[in-house]
Amino acid sequence: MDKVVRSVLFGQLFFIGGLLVCVILKPEGLAANDGISYYGIYERTFFPYAVGLLGSAYFLARAASSVMSPALRPLRLSFRTYVPLVVGIVFTPYAAGRYMDYLHTVCGSALFSLQLILSGWLIWQLRYAWWAVALTVMECIAGVLSAVFLRPPHGFLIQSQVVFQLAFGALVLLGLRRLRAST
């Protein structure tokens, strides 16, 4: 496994691991309909939340610096753009007032949007492989559900966000393996 794939994999493991620790420490977050960011507003869960997201961002930065092929430049630029957005999500807790909530929402929406754009680019690069299309459709459905559940007091915001991120992570990992073999 090359450096880029390994870095993305470690980033995904940080994200999933941090989130799992948060769920274990405060399982009521699964029913709070405040999304993954719910864990960023409580002292008990802030550390694993921050380590999970910032660890993921760190490994995306490493992956970006390891992408050397000019054909994969959009991937490198995407990863570099994701890093400040993830940092922004961590350090703008939505519950710290209207301004912070706005910044948090902007960072999260931009991240989701850019991930969908990269997914489209990956589909094109992978010549419309069925699994790439299926994972992107899963992202789209989860993204729409995330938007639907963003404001109501009850819903499945965290679940839809996790499905989106897992589908995106799988697409990037599988796509990288295929693209790196062909470049």
Evaluate whether 121 touches 5 at the Cβ level (below 8 Å).
no
> Please, which pLDDT band fits residue 182 given cuts at 50, 70 and 90?
low
Quick check: 180 pLDDT over 80? no
pLDDT at 150: 85
**What residue numbers bound the domain in which 84 lies?**
3-182
Task: Report the number of distinct structural domains present in the chain.
Answer: 1
Residues 51-59, mean pLDDT to the nearest whole number? 98
pTM of this structure: 0.94
Q: Which two tokens stand for residue 104?
A: 């948090």
* Statement: residue 44 has pLDDT above 60: yes
Q: Does residue 143 have a pLDDT over 90?
A: yes
Name, in order, each residue with C-beta under 8 angstroms of 104's C-beta and a sequence gap of 6 or more: 37, 88, 89, 92, 93, 94
* For the chain, counts of helices (H) and of strands (E): 6, 0
Please give the average per-residue pLDDT across 68-94, as a whole number.
Answer: 94
pLDDT at 181: 62
pLDDT tens sequence across 110-120: 999 999 999 99
Q: Is 121 a residue whose pLDDT tops 80?
A: yes
